[in-house]
Amino acid sequence: MSYNTHSNIGSSSRSARTLDFGRTHVVRPKGKHQATIVWLHGLGDNGSSSSQLLDSLPLPNIKWICPTAPTRPVTLLGGFPCTAWFDAGELSEDGSNDWESLDASAAHIANLLSTEPADVKVGIGGFSMGAAMALYSATCYTLGRYGNGNPYPVNLRAIVGLSGWLPGGRSLKSKIQSSHEAARRAAALPILLCHGTSDDVVLYKYGETAAQSSTSAGFRHLTFKSYEGLGHYTVPAEMEEMCHWLTPKLALEGSRPTRN
């Protein structure tokens, strides 16, 4: 199943135009539908390749929604246009952030989850820039609003980030700790972050920093896994880790207590 969607990101700052999100691919659950996860691809990729990877996982109770980011000029690539959830000049929490597009993409993702049945748990995961987007969505959920102040509408139950970083990590702790409700949400949201020690695209230290910033901001249920010698790609061991982690966190059928 595929369909196209649009998101109007408003008339402020650089781009008053409508961003065209690409095709969304859906992997239907093969068993009882208990959870839905939006999975976000990396820079220059698309939802189709994500859906093929996820379709092979032994998680029959999860529905996967794999959207495709808008095509836009990317500063990191010298202005070359490719699929990107937001503009990136540097793949780290120190880079200047395209908050308008971060909000537009986060809203698009939340909209994809907002029509899921009430008894289905929802989450967000992603690779590289998709992982950064998943973590930004976790920030919006925790604070109860997007960066532009609009309310965040979805109750997230799990976040997975592979080979990513955390946009806005430096100011996260002060934002969360200024709100009792935000602190409560952060303390309850499970997050799994995985990163290869030999990643030469999104450096390992940025993944490590994302985990440290999130933990110190109050995300108590955060698991950080490092993979010795792994570059900027996924491996079966990482997918297996994700399956082991998601099953008890989302109380999927057949779950048994697993290692942490």
> What token pair was written down for 165?
């970083």
- Spell out the SS3 assignment of 122-142: EEEEEECHHHHHHHHHHHHHH
**Catalytic member of 45, 87, 98, 199:** 199
> What token pair was written down for 245?
């982690």
**Catalytic member of 25, 41, 108, 232:** 232
60 neighbors 29 (Cβ within 8 angstroms): yes
User: What residues contact residue 74 under an 8 Å CB cut-off, 6+ apart?
Assistant: 43, 80, 81, 82, 84, 87, 88
How far does CA 111 lie from the centroid of its chain?
A: 14
Say how many C-beta atoms besides its own lie within 10 A of residue 151's C-beta: 9
The whole-angstrom separation of Cα 188 and Cα 183 is 9
85 neighbors 105 (Cβ within 8 angstroms): yes
Our answer to whether residue 232 is catalytic in this structure is yes
Our answer to whether residue 98 is catalytic in this structure is no
**Catalytic member of 128, 137, 163, 214:** 128
User: What residues contact residue 172 under an 8 Å CB cut-off, 6+ apart?
Assistant: 139, 166, 213, 214, 217
Residue numbers annotated as active site: 128, 199, 232
